[in-house]
């Protein structure tokens, strides 16, 4: 028998035994903190209420709203189409498929920003992509979409365009303009909501 | 998305490109080790050449050890790997049929393509027959459908079935493999040498 | 000749195989920052008190020994105006070695670290991360710098609140005022059915 075959056998058994004695490595899918810090700093993780209202009106199927408030708050008012996952259950096994859908932007919201942000932190650090926060939460939603406030005379034309959109959205979502027909006679300019392009991870060459 | 995570995610398009290169290398190595000769392939059944069994066991060992190490180094996301569902009875029956086909025909599907590529006539015949067989199979499939999913064990690996850690399973497998290498070399010495 | 070729192949194969393993062993990345609290554990920590109100902050600002305020905003914002005795650490620099040393000493001396940004949101995520990394002596400032400014200038209006998670208005009442809301809400926007996507299973490919 050739020495080389013996060498081969020794290498196989040796390396297989090496696997056995390797120290345990707690393998988490956690994004390393240094890397995650940059994601935290990226403002693209927030979506404005306008962006979300526009996509809801257009019936964009690629948006999925998640309400992280308590079920009772959810009962009282929720954004149409939202799905309720209370913050303390956000990591439960059954919601994993809901929160990580390919090609669907999952948007978290609460009354303010904080709970949604905490939910985002908990999920996003496990490497789940396409996760956003509705900036300002339901409070902001009410002050912009449901009860929009007319900008002052001196405001820029963009502000008025936005206001026109808000009024239209308000009608759509049953807000304060819902039964004032005369208010809608002004032609509604379409506000173009610019979606930030998601950064894709560098694709590997070979 | 390949399980290779070292370069970040590999997109589906690149997956195919990489697959082509791996396929080329696979074909080249097969042909270079003489797997396009049906006499060499059949040798394992008559006991004069065990190259096939050695190559496949070596390949399995390299793959399993490599995968586990790479998984440990964080190059490969081990959990993404797809484990085929096991249909134990169907697989056994299918294996026996395939084995007879192997002995009679002298090739397995991959090696027949290899032989075809270097222009061997038997390779051509085997490959054409292969497609005829596939055609017939698809026609009679409704009849044999009940035997198709027999003994479903789900997505299970041997180490899971034996309730062993992957590392220990690999270790025992390596020892068994080396034993097989040794036994085959002993058998080969006893069998009268065949020139081919 | 045949034999020679084959054996060389084996040697080369063995060398390559071992080389891959050795290279791999050398590339194992040592984690610089280790999470002390994984998400599952962190979710339980969230029940604890992790924020200070602006009223409390006024007292804490006077106590420079056992409290330190960390300004998470940019250097520019910090230069424009800061809380007294606050230290500026912009978010991207939180995990720099020098800053980590600072946090370590604060933790050792059990100094309370109060993170603040323009609002609480800006401080929340960095706080959560530092907490998860084991710096449990950290809190966030509710309302943030903006609220503190108003408070100090005595400009707080009825509408200003630092409890952003409380409903600012009675949602139900407003929608009721909106008219035929119950009808519109339900008819206009039907509930979306959730498509639960299972992991893609790839078809079996290639035999030998």
pLDDT at C208 over 90: no
* Structure confidence at residue A187 (pLDDT): 42
* Structure confidence at residue B134 (pLDDT): 92
Domains of chain A: 33-142 (3.40.250.10), 147-184 (no CATH)
Contact state of B10 with A203 under an 8 Å Cβ cutoff:
yes
Q: At what angle do helices B38-46 and B51-73 cross, to 10 degrees?
A: 100
Distance of CA B95 to the CA centre of its chain: 12
On whether both B91 and B78 belong to a single domain, the answer is: no
Contact state of B108 with C29 under an 8 Å Cβ cutoff:
no
Separation CA A150–CA C23 (nearest Å): 64
Handedness of CA A40, A41, A47, A48 (dihedral sign): positive
What tokens were used for C56?
């409390």
For residue C134, is it left (φ>0), alpha (ψ between -120 and 50) or beta?
left
What tokens were used for A93?
């096994």
pLDDT range class, residue C194, cuts 50, 70, 90: low
Kindly report, residue by residue over B85-141, the tens digit of the pLDDT. 888 899 999 999 999 988 888 888 888 888 988 888 989 999 999 999 999 999 999
What tokens were used for C67?
């409290």
* Structure confidence at residue A108 (pLDDT): 92
Residue B135 near chain C (CB below 8 Å): no
CA atoms in the 13 A half-sphere facing the CB of A141: 28
Q: Are A69 and A89 in contact (CB under 8 A)?
A: no
From the list A19, A202, A206, the residue facing B65 with the nearest CB is A19
The parts of chain A modelled with pLDDT lower than 50 are 181-206
Give C91 to chain B, closest Cα distance, Å.
Answer: 25
Kindly list the residues of chain C whose beta carbon comes within 8 Å of any beta carbon in chain B.
17, 20-21, 24-25, 27-29, 201-202, 204, 206-208
From the list A9, A27, A201, the residue facing B181 with the nearest CB is A9
What are the sequence ranges of the domains in chain C?
Answer: 39-153
Residue C194 near chain A (CB below 8 Å): yes
Separation CA B178–CA A16 (nearest Å): 12
Print the domain residue range for B148.
Answer: 84-156
On whether both B131 and B59 belong to a single domain, the answer is: no
Contact state of C191 with A80 under an 8 Å Cβ cutoff:
yes
pLDDT range class, residue B35, cuts 50, 70, 90: confident
Q: At what angle do helices A114-124 and C120-132 cross, to 10 degrees?
A: 40
Residues in chain A with CB shorter than 8 Å from the CB of C18 are 11, 15
C-beta atoms surrounding C186 within 10 Å = 12
Residue B80 near chain A (CB below 8 Å): no
Separation CA C173–CA C169 (nearest Å): 8
| Residues in chain C, total | 208
Kindly report, residue by residue over C118-137, the tens digit of the pLDDT. 888 889 999 988 888 888 88
Mean pLDDT, rounded, for B180-193: 84
On whether both B21 and B68 belong to a single domain, the answer is: yes
Mean pLDDT comparison of A136-140, B47-51, C168-172, highest-scoring range: A136-140
Mean pLDDT, rounded, for B43-72: 86
Separation CA A23–CA A41 (nearest Å): 35
For residue A198, is it left (φ>0), alpha (ψ between -120 and 50) or beta?
beta
Kindly report, residue by residue over C76-123, the tens digit of the pLDDT. 988 888 888 888 999 988 888 898 898 999 999 888 899 999 888 889
| Domains contained in chain B, number | 2
Q: Are C90 and C77 in contact (CB under 8 A)?
A: no
pLDDT at C59 over 70: yes
> According to the CATH classification, is domain C39-153 in 3.40.250.10?
yes
Residues in chain A with CB shorter than 8 Å from the CB of B4 are 204
Count of pairs with CB atoms under 8 A, one residue in A, one in B: 68
On whether both B72 and B128 belong to a single domain, the answer is: no
The ipTM, to two decimals, is: 0.73
On whether both B78 and B1 belong to a single domain, the answer is: yes
On whether both B36 and B110 belong to a single domain, the answer is: no
Separation CA B184–CA B47 (nearest Å): 8
Give C195 to chain A, closest Cα distance, Å.
Answer: 8
Separation CA A46–CA A39 (nearest Å): 11
Separation CA C131–CA C110 (nearest Å): 14
Residue (of A143, A157, A69, A55) closest to A104 by Cα position:
A55
Question: Which residue out of A6, A10, A15, A23 would a mutagenesis test of the B interface target, given it has the greatest number of B Cβ atoms within 10 Å?
Answer: A15
* Structure confidence at residue C198 (pLDDT): 47
From the list C17, C204, C208, the residue facing B62 with the nearest CB is C17
On whether both B49 and B141 belong to a single domain, the answer is: no
> Which residues have a Cβ under 8 Å from the Cβ of A99 and sit 6 or more positions away?
A66, A85, A90, A106, A123, A128, A131
Residue C168 near chain A (CB below 8 Å): yes
Residue C41 near chain A (CB below 8 Å): no
* Structure confidence at residue B139 (pLDDT): 94
Residue C129 near chain A (CB below 8 Å): yes
């Amino acid at each position: 028998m050739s020495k080389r075959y013996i060498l081969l056998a020794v290498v196989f058994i040796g390396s297989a035994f090496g696997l056995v004695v390797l120290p345990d490595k707690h393998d988490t899918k956690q994004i390393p903190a240094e890397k995650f810090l940059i994601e935290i700093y990226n403002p693209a993780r927030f979506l404005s209420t306008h962006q979300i209202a526009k996509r809801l009106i257009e019936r964009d199927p690629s948006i999925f709203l998640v309400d992280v408030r308590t079920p009772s708050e959810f009962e009282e008012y929720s954004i149409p189409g939202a799905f309720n996952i209370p913050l303390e259950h956000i990591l439960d096994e059954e919601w994993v498929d809901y929160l990580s859908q390919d090609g669907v932007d999952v948007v978290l919201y609460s009354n303010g920003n904080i709970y949604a942000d905490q939910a985002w932190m908990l999920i996003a650090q496990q490497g789940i992509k396409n996760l956003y926060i509705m900036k300002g939460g339901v409070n902001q939603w009410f002050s912009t979409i449901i009860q929009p406030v007319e900008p002052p005379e001196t405001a820029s034309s963009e502000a008025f365009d936005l206001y026109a959109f808000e009024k239209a959205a308000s009608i759509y979502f049953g807000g304060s303009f819902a039964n004032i027909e005369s208010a809608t006679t002004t032609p509604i300019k379409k506000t173009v909501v610019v979606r930030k392009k998601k950064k894709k991870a560098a694709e590997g060459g070979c | 998305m390949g399980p290779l995570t070292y370069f970040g995610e590999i997109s589906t398009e690149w997956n195919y490109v990489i697959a082509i290169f791996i396929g080329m290398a696979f074909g080249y190595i097969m042909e270079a080790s003489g797997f396009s000769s049906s006499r060499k392939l059949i040798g394992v059944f008559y006991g004069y050449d065990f190259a096939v069994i050695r190559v496949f066991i070596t390949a399995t060992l390299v793959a399993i050890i490599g995968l586990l190490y790479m998984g440990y180094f964080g190059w490969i996301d081990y959990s993404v790997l797809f484990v085929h569902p096991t249909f134990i009875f169907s697989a056994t029956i299918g294996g026996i049929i395939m084995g007879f086909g192997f002995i009679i025909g002298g090739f397995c599907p991959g090696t027949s393509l290899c032989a075809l590529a270097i222009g061997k006539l038997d390779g051509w015949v085997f490959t054409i027959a292969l497609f005829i067989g596939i055609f017939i199979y698809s026609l009679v499939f409704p009849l044999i459908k009940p035997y198709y999913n027999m003994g479903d064990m789900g997505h299970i690996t041997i180490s899971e079935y034996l309730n062993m850690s992957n590392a220990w399973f690999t270790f025992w497998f390596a020892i068994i493999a080396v034993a097989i290498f040794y036994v085959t070399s002993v058998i080969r010495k006893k069998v009268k040498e065949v020139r081919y | 000749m045949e034999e020679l070729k084959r054996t060389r192949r084996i040697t080369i194969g063995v060398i390559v195989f071992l080389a891959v393993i050795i290279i791999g062993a050398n590339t194992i990345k040592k984690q610089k920052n280790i999470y002390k609290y994984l998400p599952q554990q962190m979710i339980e920590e969230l029940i604890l008190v992790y924020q200070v109100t602006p009223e409390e902050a006024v007292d804490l600002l006077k106590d420079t020994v056992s409290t330190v305020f960390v300004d998470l905003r940019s250097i520019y914002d910090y230069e424009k105006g800061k809380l007294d005795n606050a230290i500026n650490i912009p978010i991207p620099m939180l995990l720099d070695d020098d800053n980590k040393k600072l946090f370590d000493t604060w933790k050792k001396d059990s100094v309370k670290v109060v993170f603040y940004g323009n609002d609480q949101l800006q401080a929340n995520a960095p706080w959560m991360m530092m907490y998860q990394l084991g710096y449990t002596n950290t809190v966030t400032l509710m309302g943030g710098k903006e609220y503190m400014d108003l408070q100090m200038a005595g400009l707080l209006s009825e509408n200003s609140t630092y409890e952003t998670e409380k409903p600012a208005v009675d949602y139900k009442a407003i929608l009721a005022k909106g008219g035929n809301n119950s009808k519109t809400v339900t008819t206009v926007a039907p509930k979306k059915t959730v498509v639960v996507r299972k992991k893609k299973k790839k078809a079996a490919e290639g035999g030998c």
